[in-house]
Amino acid sequence: MTSSKASRRLKVRLAVVLTLAIIAAVVAWRSAPVRDGACTPGRHEERDASGKLVRITHTECLR
């Protein structure tokens, strides 16, 4: 009977540790560090000195 109690305690400990690890992983994922210069989605046009359009870039932000 002692081994069944020990086995049950071990399973409970493993379940608690696994639950805490999952919670910690979700919290770390949701609170990802914010980068300097927040992303601004949209279209950006680059022009040369004469005003001629040289390049158009499109930016998409995740999250």
Tell me, what's the pLDDT at 60? 84
Span 11-35, pLDDT tens digits: 999 999 999 999 999 998 888 666 6
Which domain, by its residues, includes 7? 2-59
Tell me, what's the pLDDT at 63? 58
What is the b/e burial string over 22-32, where b = at least 16 CB atoms within 10 angstroms of the residue's CB? eeeeeeeeeee
Element (H, E) at 42: strand 42-47
pLDDT-based confidence at 1, cuts 50/70/90?
low
pLDDT-based confidence at 36, cuts 50/70/90?
low
Provide the domain count of the chain. 1
Tell me, what's the pLDDT at 35? 61
Interacting residues of 57 by C-beta distance below 8 A, sequence separation 6+: 43, 44, 46
